[in-house]
Amino acid sequence: MRLLATLLLLVPLAAQEPAAPAPAPGKPADQAAPPPATQTATPPAAQLAAQPAAQPAEAPPQTSTDNWLQGSFEVGYRWIPGGIDGNFDAYRSVVNLGQGPKLLDADFTILNPSKILFDRADVHATSWGGDPYNTLRVDIQKNKIYRLLADYRNIAYFNFLPSYADPTLSQGVQLNQNAYDTAIRTLNVQLDLLPGKWITPYVAFARNTQFGSGITEFFTDQNNYAVASLYSDQTNDYRAGVRMEMGRYHLTIEQGGTTFKDDQGASNNEPNAGNVPGLFNGQPLVLNQLQEQYRVRSNSVYTKVLGAANPFSWMTITGQFVYERPHTDVNYVQTSAGNFFLNDLFQFYSGGQDVLTGYANMPHSFGNVTVELRPWKRLRIVEFWNTDRYHNSSNALLAENLLLVGTAPLTDQQLATDRLNLNYSEEEIDAFYDVTSHLILRGGYRYVWGNTDLGAPALSGLMLETGSVRQNIGIAGVNYRLGQKFRVVADAEGSSSGQTFFRTGLQQYQKAHIRASYDVITSLHLAGDFSLLNNNNPDPTVKLDFASKVESASLFWTPKGGKWANLLLDYSRSAISSNILYLVPETLTPTPSIYKENAHALTAVVTVRWFTFGGSLFTSSGSRPTQYYQPLARFSLPLNKHIRWNTEWRWYSMSEAFYAYEDFRSNQLMTSLRFTR
């Protein structure tokens, strides 16, 4: 790694040959204003090389193969001088960038002169070399024969902010009891045959996996215990179908299947006092040993049909229908030892073993249809209908053995046969009217309805628990455009419904969004954005009051097309307040959960020739005051026509007024070479 770092510093000097005249300064793609600074330092978009000079007129004609490779790639090295100052777990949860050699970006096209096997292949890769988010996309084509697309993504998901999900924080224990240190990987591959023809068969495969470790909770009647856990799950999706393009009609028929497996385990081999300190009825509640294993296997087959039709010039119809039949098997085994309390018998017990087996079948169908009518030149009417229905029948057998203190062991066996039915539908109609060539008005109405029945007495204590949703929603909008310089788009909707499925679902709410942009001159662009959401659920067991407001403004200036300089300014202000009842984990008593935040975010980046300065900041006040700073400085020097040397400095800093133990700071340097052909 030190050798690579040395080469990156020496190559720029060697590349500047004294005898060769310097190329005329130009405006490479890197000099465009970079996007707002983020925690992952995304590299700029790829550059395409200029076409080679034409052959002299007297040269004999020949087929050139010089352009078989076009594009760019960038390799570099990142240092973190002094390491991470502060809470390393908080740094990994927020930034998680590491040091070492990196493939920052590769974006190139391979043109095959022989046209054997393939005509062209497009490859794009980002952030390889230990960074938390890596991508690779490959697109291979042979004209009118096939097209192969492959997309791979790898996410290093780390979540361990000690102040979150920590009921023992008031006791001085900094332990996130819902922590993850896992890798999430997704792969999608699709092969299209005869692309561009009126009938195109295709086959596809997708896989999603997650594996790693973390912390979860083991629950008992009077106490919960944070224990180490392992995670491993995998989902595979196999599908094949055919797309048919028939002029005004389009039809896709697809048959597929999925398999899913989930293996989780939790263990504890030392005394664990749990979340409830002290004594309960004169005795400590402690977990001494735990072995817990959870195994799920599921498979499903599904059929999907999508269609689109334009039977008349004034009508367009689109829709889809999906029917799937999943089946799931569950196995759970748990062995525990310690001192616990059983509420049903009001008695202590020293250990137990649970064995559960179960299965579930859930036929699921959903579909939607959209119809657009244009009866007059200035009027468009769009109607949308959607339905989602599934019925879950399940069976579970639980065998439980408890070692009661001072009495004979207790053996219990329970058989539960439960059922869940859910029906959800919505219908929306919108009318768009062109008042003038500059002004479009929108008016609409959406009706949402649904019901659910849950027969789970072991969970709810009721033989049958029901729920329903009924919503009448009004919709309005305005689209105003003045020439090519000024545009305003506004949308709003609201409902006064009294029923919803979920505690935090939209019930009695008002929502609005306004976007505006103005080109003062060709090189100066202004934009503004405003959004608002108010939501209320007056149910005495919920008592939800939620409000959110976000305002933002941005300026982008590129004098003379950004050839020598550009400027980006972006500012946003947000305010969030939430009040809802929740159950305290230690006592299970309802208590209001109140959260408020007022935040400001600013990004400012200026580029002058080879130099870029600026950065981002975030500051908030309220329930969790936080300051986050990310300044940057960048030097980008063209060494010759095909090589550019980039060097960048970034600073990451987060501080919290109430949770100072989560503060961190990081000073990072990056140097890289971008090669363009």
Q: What are phi and psi of 4, to 5 degrees?
A: -65, -40
Residue 461 sits at the vertex; the CA angle it makes with 456 and 464, to the nearest 5 degrees, is 50
Q: Which residues pair with 260 in a beta bridge?
A: 235, 298
> Which DSSP string do the residues of 241-294 spell out, in sequence order?
EEEEEETTEEEEEEEEEEEEEEEEEEEE-S-B--SS-SEETTEE-EEEEEEEEE
Residue 602: pLDDT over 50: yes
Query: What integer pLDDT is reported at residue 78 of this predicted model?
Result: 97
Round to whole Å and give the CA distance between 615 and 267: 44
What is the tens place of the pLDDT at every residue in 323-352? 999 999 999 999 999 999 988 888 899 999
How far apart are alpha carbons 600 and 616 in whole angstroms?
11
Taking the C-alpha atoms of residue 649 and residue 86, their distance in angstroms, rounded to an integer, is 19
> Does the pLDDT of residue 39 top 70, yes or no?
no
pLDDT at 484: 86
Q: What is the pLDDT of residues 542-598, one digit of tens each?
A: 999 999 999 999 999 999 888 899 999 999 999 999 999 988 766 778 899 999 999
Share of the chain above pLDDT 90, in %: 71
Token representation of residue 545:
């009051």
Assess whether pLDDT exceeds 50 at residue 490: yes
pLDDT single digits (tens) 161-208: 988 888 888 777 888 899 999 999 999 999 999 998 999 999 999 999
Tokens of 653: 């800093």
Render pLDDT for 246-282 as a digit per residue (tens, 0 to 9): 989 999 999 999 999 999 999 999 999 998 888 888 8
Distance CA 17, CA 8 (A): 17
Whole-number Cα distances in Å, 632 to 35, 98, 131, 242, 651:
12, 17, 19, 50, 7
Q: How far apart, in whole angstroms, are the C-alpha atoms of residue 514 and residue 479?
A: 10
Could you read off the pLDDT of 13-32 as tens digits, one per residue?
334 433 333 333 333 333 33
Decide yes or no: CATH 1.20.1250 for domain 2-15+69-104+168-189+200-676: no
Say yes or no to pLDDT of 36 above 70.
no
Mean pLDDT lowest among 126-140, 259-273, 410-424: 410-424
**What is the torsional sign of CA 13, 16, 18, 24?**
negative
CA distance 194 to 188: 20
- Whether 226 shows a pLDDT value over 70: the answer reads yes
Please, are residues 379 and 431 in contact by the beta-carbon 8 Å criterion? yes
CA atoms within 13 A on the CB side of 393: 3
Please state, in angstroms and rounded to a whole number, the distance separating the CA atoms of residues 111 and 67: 7
Q: What is the pLDDT of residue 412?
A: 80
Q: Is the pLDDT of residue 359 over 70?
A: yes
Q: pTM for the whole thing?
A: 0.84
Among 190, 180, 334, residue whose Cα is nearest residue 252: 190
The string of DSSP letters for 481-496 reads EETTTEEEEEEEEEEE
Query: Are residues 189 and 152 in contact, defined by beta-carbon separation less than 8 angstroms?
Result: no
The pLDDT of residue 37 is above 90: no
Q: What's the rounded Cα separation, in Å, for the pair 523 and 558?
A: 5
Residue 404: the pLDDT is 84
- Please report the pLDDT score of residue 5 as a whole number: 42
Mean pLDDT to the nearest integer, 37-62: 37
664-676 and 283-284 as β-strands: parallel, antiparallel, unpaired? unpaired
Of the pLDDT bands very low, low, confident and very high (cuts 50, 70, 90), residue 457 is low
pLDDT reading at 424 higher than 50: yes
* H or E stretch at 459: helix 457-460
Give the total residue count for the chain.
677
Nearest C-alpha neighbor of 500 from the set 397, 424, 600, 429? 424
